[in-house]
């Protein structure tokens, strides 16, 4: 009598692959698929046999004779040789600029549940190839305080068993710039100098390099809520400043900065380079196309060898004004409304869920203000770093991190607390090609200054240089109604050639005469 017992097919769980790389964490149930289905069969010549069983996995076979008369067998299959080796390296994570005074090491040991068994009683922590500390095997964190900003450290945690020590498993960690330089500027007679600019030499820093081919971008993600971070600071009047450099010629749109509605993905704010190379700023009070107002620069700012340009957009009481390198290039006073709510931000692509219009170039020193910054302040401060505690500074990202996936927001509120608006990177590189922004600070009424977030490596000597521009003389103020200057009865010969120079400042765009020569 032949008794047959058939076993069901094996079911493997295969993850879903997506073509476009998305760096934000995703939480989803994998797709269930049948792959290489196998039927198991047990055969017995014993007529009294009523129950049969068979254990089977896919892998390396091992057949064992289970009786003396060779009438029955048991079969076990699997990757047993995988366990006959030294341990796998622990899964190590080193902090990348998350802390101001230490690097946090956090690791998980790949034990006999997921790899070869770990039998050693200790783990050895290595830094830059040298043993740093020996800790108990049950410990899975270590705080390294003996570190300097501006230096990358390579860590490794080594565990052992009877067959040897774990190999590889290196991970790099570093501190974001955390140095502070303070001082006081006094005149020779001991009087405090207010409003002097103090800059450091050498001027150390980094910029963020974006590649459209790699799909590089910077995003804000809230791990606790498993959703994009809701940014506060753009609800009313606002100012956005940054230095940009495009390495792509005309022909495609490139996103510099975007703020969207978390529910509809509609754009509240969009800063981009157009297909012709102009800078365009779109503002929408409710994130819909019907309320959008767009202004564009008349000139283009894209080319393979283009320099860094400073961009500032200011929303002030319904008026949109765009400045490039301190000069006003576009304005619309049609009454753009306030956003009035928090937003999701993204840099380098169209939106958190819109994977297109990637930036090809560099960004440096991004500032977001919860107020309309005065034109004079934009001109005065665009080439010097901020301290981070300026009034209404909602976010400040210098991109000075040496490496890693975090871009630290160094802005603080009026109570000295961090805004906690750190961003994450996707395929971003850090470049030593930086904008002409100098690490420095401005003195207060007592002549004191404090320069924060300074790189110093394992020992750097800085020279602090104060400077102050003083205006000597007067200017003419004309009201635009009936005021003018007339060179009556005086004639100037301009028949062959001439050059006219002068400084002017105006609050409107057109309809004014600066200079007029008549017969």
Distance CA 115, CA 159 (A): 13
**pLDDT at residue 284 tops 60:** yes
Distance CA 472, CA 366 (A): 33
Looking at residue 304, what is its pLDDT?
64
Please state the rounded mean pLDDT for residues 428-439.
Answer: 92
Please state the rounded mean pLDDT for residues 504-508.
Answer: 75
**pLDDT at residue 389 tops 50:** yes
**pLDDT at residue 29 tops 80:** no
**pLDDT at residue 71 tops 90:** no
Distance CA 88, CA 156 (A): 12
> What are the chain's domains?
3-78 (no CATH), 91-173 (2.60.40.10), 179-467 (2.60.120.200)
Looking at residue 349, what is its pLDDT?
94
Please state the rounded mean pLDDT for residues 249-271.
Answer: 89
Q: Which residue has the higher pLDDT, 386 or 25?
A: 386
Tokens matching residue 234? 């753009």
Distance CA 317, CA 338 (A): 8
- Of the candidates 334, 322, 217, 244, which has an alpha carbon nearest to the alpha carbon of residue 284? 334
Please measure the distance between the N-terminal and C-terminal CA atoms of the chain and give it in whole angstroms.
Answer: 126
The alpha carbon dihedral of 197, 202, 208, 211 has a sign of positive
Banded pLDDT at 361 (limits 50, 70, 90)? very high
Q: Tell me the range of 169-173, 210-214, 279-283 where mean pLDDT is highest.
A: 279-283
Looking at residue 319, what is its pLDDT?
94
Looking at residue 320, what is its pLDDT?
96
**pLDDT at residue 347 tops 80:** yes
Phi, psi of 101 (to 5 degrees): -135, 5
Q: Which residue has the higher pLDDT, 82 or 122?
A: 122
3 state DSSP class of 430 = strand
Looking at residue 3, what is its pLDDT?
42
**pLDDT at residue 108 tops 50:** yes
Q: Tell me the range of 148-162, 379-393, 448-462 where mean pLDDT is highest.
A: 379-393
**pLDDT at residue 96 tops 80:** no
Banded pLDDT at 393 (limits 50, 70, 90)? very high
Looking at residue 358, what is its pLDDT?
95
- Of the candidates 236, 224, 263, 250, which has an alpha carbon nearest to the alpha carbon of residue 353? 263
Give Rg (Cα) of the chain: 33
Residue 36 makes CB contacts below 8 A (sequence gap 6+) with 10, 12, 58
Q: Which of 67-71, 114-118, 142-146, 255-259 is predicted least confidently?
A: 67-71
**Residue 291 backbone zone (phi > 0: left; psi -120 to 50: alpha; other: beta):** alpha
Give the burial class of 192: count Cβ atoms within 10 A of its Cβ; 0-12 exposed, 13-18 middle, 19 or more buried.
middle
**pLDDT at residue 148 tops 50:** yes
Q: Which residue has the higher pLDDT, 8 or 227?
A: 227
Looking at residue 76, what is its pLDDT?
44
Please state the rounded mean pLDDT for residues 488-499.
Answer: 77
- Report the b/e string of 261-293 with b at 16+ CB within 10 A: bbeeebbbbbbbbbeebbbbbbbbbebeeeebb
Q: Which residues pair with residue 514 across a beta bridge?
A: none
Looking at residue 84, what is its pLDDT?
74
Q: Which of 141-155, 226-240, 333-347, 501-515 is predicted least confidently?
A: 501-515
- Of the candidates 435, 238, 410, which has an alpha carbon nearest to the alpha carbon of residue 341? 238
pLDDT in tens, 321-334: 999 999 999 999 87
Banded pLDDT at 510 (limits 50, 70, 90)? low
Residue 302 makes CB contacts below 8 A (sequence gap 6+) with 246, 248, 249, 250, 254, 273, 277
**pLDDT at residue 106 tops 70:** yes
Looking at residue 28, what is its pLDDT?
47
Q: Which residue has the higher pLDDT, 346 or 38?
A: 346
Please state the rounded mean pLDDT for residues 39-46.
Answer: 46
Banded pLDDT at 251 (limits 50, 70, 90)? confident
Looking at residue 33, what is its pLDDT?
38
What is the DSSP secondary structure assignment for residue 275, as one 8-state letter? Answer: T
Question: Per residue, what are the HEC states of 210-253?
Answer: ECCCCCCEEECEECCCCEECCECCCCCCEEEEEEEEECCCCCCC
Please state the rounded mean pLDDT for residues 269-292.
Answer: 94
**pLDDT at residue 364 tops 70:** yes
Helix (H) or strand (E) holding 381: helix 375-381
Q: What percent of the chain has pLDDT over 90?
A: 40
pLDDT in tens, 158-195: 999 988 898 878 887 877 777 788 899 999 898 999 98
Looking at residue 458, what is its pLDDT?
63
pTM confidence score: 0.70
Residue 281 makes CB contacts below 8 A (sequence gap 6+) with 269, 270, 271, 294, 295, 296, 313, 320, 322, 330
Q: Which of 134-138, 195-199, 403-407, 428-432 is predicted least confidently?
A: 403-407
């Amino acid at each position: 009598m032949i008794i047959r017992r058939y076993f069901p097919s094996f079911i493997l769980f295969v993850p879903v692959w997506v073509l476009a790389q998305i760096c934000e964490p995703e939480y989803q149930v994998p797709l269930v698929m049948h792959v290489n289905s196998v039927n198991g069969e047990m055969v017995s010549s014993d007529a009294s046999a009523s129950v049969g069983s068979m254990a089977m996995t896919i892998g390396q076979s091992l057949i064992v004779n289970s009786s003396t008369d060779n009438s029955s067998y048991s079969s076990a299959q699997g990757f047993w040789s995988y366990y006959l080796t030294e341990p796998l390296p622990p899964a190590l994570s080193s902090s990348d600029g998350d802390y101001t005074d230490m690097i946090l090491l956090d690791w998980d040991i790949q034990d006999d549940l997921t790899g070869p068994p770990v039998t050693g009683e200790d783990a050895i922590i290595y830094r830059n190839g040298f043993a740093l500390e020996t800790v108990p095997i049950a410990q899975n964190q270590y705080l390294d305080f003996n570190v300097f900003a501006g230096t990358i450290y390579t860590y490794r945690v080594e565990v052992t068993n009877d067959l040897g020590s774990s190999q590889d498993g290196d991970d790099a960690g570093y501190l974001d710039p955390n140095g502070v330089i303070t001082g006081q500027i006094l005149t020779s007679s001991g009087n405090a100098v207010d409003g002097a600019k103090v800059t450091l030499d050498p001027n150390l820093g980094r910029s963020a390099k974006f590649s459209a081919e790699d799909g590089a971008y910077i995003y804000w993600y809230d791990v606790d809520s498993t959703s994009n971070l809701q940014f506060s600071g753009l609800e009313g009047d606002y100012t956005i400043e940054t230095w940009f450099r495009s390495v792509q010629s005309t022909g495609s749109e490139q996103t510099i900065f975007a703020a969207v509605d978390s529910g509809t993905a509609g754009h509240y704010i969009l800063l981009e380079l157009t297909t012709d190379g102009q800078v365009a700023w779109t503002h929408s009070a409710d994130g819909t196309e019907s309320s959008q107002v767009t202004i564009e620069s008349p000139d283009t700012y894209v080319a393979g060898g283009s320099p860094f340009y400073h961009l500032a957009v200011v929303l002030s009481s319904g008026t949109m004004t765009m400045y490039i390198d301190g000069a006003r290039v576009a304005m619309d006073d049609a009454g753009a409304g306030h956003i009035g709510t928090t937003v999701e931000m993204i840099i380098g692509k169209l939106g958190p869920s819109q994977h297109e219009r990637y930036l090809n170039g560099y960004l440096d020193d991004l500032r977001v203000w919860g107020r309309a910054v005065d034109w004079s302040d934009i001109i005065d401060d665009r080439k010097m770093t901020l301290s981070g505690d300026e009034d209404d500074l909602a976010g400040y990202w210098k991109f000075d991190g040496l490496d890693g996936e975090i871009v630290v927001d160094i802005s603080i509120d009026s109570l000295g607390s961090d805004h906690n608006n750190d961003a994450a990177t996707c395929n971003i590189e850090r470049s030593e090609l930086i904008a002409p922004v100098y690490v420095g600070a401005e003195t207060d009424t007592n002549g004191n200054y404090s320069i924060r977030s300074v790189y110093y490596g394992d020992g750097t000597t800085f020279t602090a240089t104060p400077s102050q521009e003083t205006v000597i003389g007067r200017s003419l103020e004309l009201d635009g109604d009936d005021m003018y200057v007339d060179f009556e009865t005086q004639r100037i010969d301009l028949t062959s050639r001439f050059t006219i120079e002068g400084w002017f400042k105006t609050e409107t765009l057109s309809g004014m005469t600066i200079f007029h020569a008549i017969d």
